Amino acid sequence: MNCAECERLQAELVTALAKYDYSKATDCRVLLTRHPHHQPPRCPGLPSDRSKAPAS
């Protein structure tokens, strides 16, 4: 991350998780995803392209 806003939101996310404040953590994740200079982190175990996901 090279954006000051992304770094601030990431720090808030880490703090929220440490305090078990999952509502705040979710808010931070949403804001990180919506931030125009940020590539949202991939969730472990999920394919990067959902069209390549195995059929259920």
Residue pair 12/4 in contact by the 8 Å Cβ criterion: no
What global pTM score does this model have? 0.61
Residue 9 CB neighbours (<10 A): 21
Question: For the stretch 26-53, what's the b/e string if a residue is b when 16 or more beta carbons lie within 10 angstroms of its beta carbon?
Answer: eebbebbeeeeebeeeeeeeeeeeeeee
Question: Cα(22)–Cα(54) distance, rounded to whole angstroms?
Answer: 30
| Non-local CB neighbours of 16 within 8 Å, separated by 6+ positions | 22, 24, 25, 28
pLDDT in tens, 13-54: 999 999 999 999 999 999 988 877 645 555 555 455 555 555
Q: What is the pLDDT, as a whole number, of residue 3?
A: 82
